[in-house]
Amino acid sequence: MQLSPSPAWKEPIRGGVNRGEEYLNSRSVGLYVHVPFCSGKCFYCDFVSVPVQAASHGPRRRHAHASSARVRNAGRGQGRHARRYLEALEAEMRLRPSCQPRTLYIGGGTPSELEAGELAGLLAAVRRSYATDGIVEATCEANPESLTADKLSALRRGGVARLSLGLQTTENRLLRRIGRRHDFACFLEAYRAARGAGFEVSVDLMFGLPGQTVAGLRGSIDAVLALEPGHLSLYGLDVHDSTLFGERGVRHDEDLGREMFEISIERLAREGYHHYEISNFALPGRESIHNQIYWRNEEYVGLGCAAASYINGERSTNVDRLQDYCDAALSGRRPVAYAETLRGRERLGEGVMLGLRLLDGFEPEPEALAAFAPEIAALAAKGLLRREGPRLRLTREGVFLANVVASEFVPPFEHPSAETVSFKEAIA
C-alpha cells in the first residue's frame, strides 16, 4: 500500500518499504523509547510495565486484575505519571550524546496507553533532540483496547507509519485466560482503523497457551492471514517465575508447543511469509529494520526505564523502577543501572548468538569462528547449525532448539581455551 507522505520527517516514513539489502547490510543506529504503562498485567508478562492502578495509586504492583478496561482506559492515559515520565524521557535525551537514528521504535508496556497529545509530545521531543531526517522506519506498539482514532492520527502526523499490534489469539476464552483486556472484535476494530489510517501493521500471536489446541491456533492464524498483515510475530509461551502464571505453577507442554510452531511455520510459508527471524515472519520487503539492528549486533540507544543501549561496545541498562528513573533523569543524572563493555570471547559469542536468530544466517567475525570452533563443529555434527561458506545459520531442527544452540555462545563457556584453535583450522 502506498502511504501518504508524512510531514514530520524529511522523507515519508513508510514502514516496510525503502529497505533492501544495501541498507540492511549497512551500520545503523536504532532509537528505542520505552513507555511502561499498561491497562493491566497479562498473566505471562515479565516485561517492565506498570499497570494503570499502580501508576495512579502509588507502589508498583506486579499484577493487576484483568478487566474489560477498553472503555475505561481508552484515551485516558496515565495522567500526571505520564507527564512526569515524558519530561524524564526528554531529560534523558538531553543527557545522552547525540546520535542519528535510522529507526525509531516506541515500545513498552503499551505506548497506546498514552493520550493522543502525549504521543504527539513524545514525538516532538524526539524531533527536538535528534537529527531525524535519516529515519527510515518508525514503529509504535499498541494494544487494541487503548488504540483510538485520535491516537492513530497523532502518531501518523508525528511520522510513525508502522504499528505493532498485540492480539495473541483470536479465541476470546483464551484472551481472558491469559489476562488480556481486549477481545477479537476489539482487535479487528483497531486493526481496520490502523490500516484505514495508512499504517503498516504487524500482528503479535502466541502459541502454547493454556487451553489452546492445534485447531484453535490454526483458526487464529487463518483469521489473521485473512487480514493480510505485512508482518507477524509469533511467540511461544514461556513461563517465568516472576509472572502470575509462574506463581500459579502453569506449565507448558513442550511437545505440543513444538508441533504448534511447526504447523505455524509451514502455514505462513505457504502464504508467502518469509520466516526471517526465529519469532518473526514478513511478506517480502516488510521485515522490521529496527529489530534487525539488534540481531545484527549493531548500535542502538534505549531511552526510558529498563531500556537497554549498545553504543561503542558498551551495553547498558537503565533502572527499571519508574520513580527511580524519573528522579534520576529529572535531576540531571543518567538513569543507568548497569553498564559493561563486552570483550574477547564474551563479545564474540554474543554476536554469534544474536546473528543465529536470523534464519538466513549471518557472517560471523573470523575471530568468532576461531574462538567457537569446537562448539560450532559439535552443533553442526548434531544437525543444529550449518556452515555455508563464510555464513552460519540454524538448520530447521536448530530453529526448534534455538535456546540450546544459543547457550553454547554465552558464559559460562564449556571450552574456555578455544582461542588456542588456529584461525586456519577454524575456517577450514
- Is 229:202 a contact under the CB 8 Å cutoff? yes
Which residues would be at the binding site for ligand SF4 (CB under 6 A)?
38, 41-42, 45, 47, 49, 108-110, 143, 166
Nearest approach, Cβ of 257 to ligand SF4 (angstroms)?
18
**In sequence order, what are the residues at sequence separation of 6 or more whose Cβ sits closer than 8 angstroms to the Cβ of residue 101?**
29, 30, 31, 130, 131, 132, 134, 135, 301
Q: CA triplet 287, 290, 292: central angle to 5 degrees?
A: 65
CB of 66 to ligand SF4, least distance (A): 10
Minimum distance, C-beta of residue 146 to ligand SF4, in the bound complex (Å): 9
| Shortest distance, position 82 Cβ to ligand SF4, whole Å | 15
> Other C-beta atoms within 10 Å of 251: how many?
10
| Nearest to ligand SF4 of 108, 158 (CB atom) | 108
Phi, psi of 156 (to 5 degrees): -65, -45
Instruction: Quote the least distance from Cβ 180 to ligand SF4, whole Å.
Output: 7
Q: Which is nearer to ligand SF4, 86 or 175 (CB)?
A: 175
At closest approach, how far in Å is the CB of 199 from ligand SF4? 19
CB of 64 to ligand SF4, least distance (A): 9
What 3-state class would DSSP assign to 163?
Answer: strand
Q: Which is nearer to ligand SF4, 143 or 292 (CB)?
A: 143
CB-wise, 42 or 69, nearer to ligand SF4? 42
- Minimum CB separation of residue 172 from ligand SF4 in Å reads 16
When the beta carbons of 120 and 306 are compared against ligand SF4, the nearer one is 306
Q: How far apart are CA 277 and CA 393, in angstroms?
A: 11
Which is nearer to ligand SF4, 45 or 152 (by Cβ)?
Answer: 45
Contact 175, 169 (CB under 8 A): yes
* Pair 355, 392: CB distance under 8 Å: yes
**Residue 39 or 288 with smaller CB distance to ligand SF4:** 39
- Indicate the residue among 148 and 297 with the shorter CB distance to ligand SF4: 148
Count CA atoms closer than 13 A to 380's CA, side-chain side.
Answer: 13
Q: Show Cβ contacts of residue 50 under 8 Å, excluding neighbours closer than 6 positions.
A: 36, 37, 38, 60, 81, 109, 322
Q: Which DSSP string corresponds to 303-340?
A: ESTT-EEEETTEEEEE---HHHHHHHHHTT---EEEEE
> CB count, 10 Å around CB of 311?
16
Compute the distance between CA of residue 338 and CA of residue 317 in angstroms, rounded to an integer. 5
- Compute the least distance from the CB of residue 51 to ligand SF4, in Å: 7
Return d(Cα 418, Cα 374) in angstroms, integer: 7
Residue tagged 521485515 (cell numbers): 287
**Nine-digit cell at 163?**
504499528
Which is closer to ligand SF4, CB of 15 or CB of 108?
108
Nearer to ligand SF4, 78 or 132 (CB): 78
Residue number with CB closer to ligand SF4 (6 or 73): 73
φ/ψ region of 229 (left if φ > 0, alpha if ψ in -120 to 50, else beta) reads: beta
Q: How far is the CB of 242 from ligand SF4 (least distance, A)?
A: 12
Exposure letters 323-350 (e unless 16+ CB within 10 A, then b) = bebbebbbeeeebbeeeeeeeebebbbb
